[in-house]
Amino acid sequence: MKNGATRFLKYGAVGVSTFLFDLALLYVAVSILKFPIYIATPATFLIAVSCNYAVSRKLVFKGTTRGWTNGYVYFAIVAIGGAFVTTALVEVLVTYLGLFYIVARVAVAGIVGVLNYLFNLYLNFKVVGQHA
């Protein structure tokens, strides 16, 4: 398997695990702690992607030319953008289409996950060598 495909599969595995963590946090925040969806969705998303950053940096984007702190700032910018998109799309799916919030969050995850991967690959981590 080519380097790019392997990297994408690793990112996908990390993404799925941190996404499941995000869903669990979201469920606790909304169903148990009674936070509004528009507060819980970005908060749990940002917690999960912070975990994703640490794991991705170690396992997926080895050889990055960016330092930890500088890389996290870029990662956080991408994540905040992703949080806005995620929150807006979840809110639309729940409010206007009547989807259950967990179903809406799952529906949005794939789109935001691929966009986050591409932004991080090409703009943030700048892995030494080819991206493909």
Handedness of CA 97, 100, 104, 107 (dihedral sign): negative
Residue entry with tokens 């493909």 = 132
Helix (H, G, I), strand (E, B) or coil at 127: strand
Alpha helices in the chain (DSSP H): 3-27, 37-59, 68-95, 101-119
Helix (H, G, I), strand (E, B) or coil at 64: strand
Per-residue pLDDT of the chain (132 residues; tens, 9 = 90+): 567 788 888 888 998 899 899 999 999 999 999 999 989 988 998 899 889 888 988 888 877 778 888 888 888 888 888 888 988 999 999 999 999 999 998 999 888 888 888 887 787 776 645 444
Domain ranges of the chain: 3-125
Burial of 19 (0-12, 13-18, 19+ CB in 10 A): buried
- DSSP classification of residue 67: -
Query: What pTM does this model have?
Result: 0.69
Q: Can you name the residues that pair with 64 across neighbouring β-strands?
A: 127
Give the pLDDT score at 1.
Answer: 52
Give the pLDDT score at 131.
Answer: 44
CA distance 31 to 111: 25
Give the pLDDT score at 104.
Answer: 93
Tokens coding 120: 């991080």
Give the pLDDT score at 56.
Answer: 86
CB atoms within 10 A of CB 122: 11
CA distance 80 to 54: 16
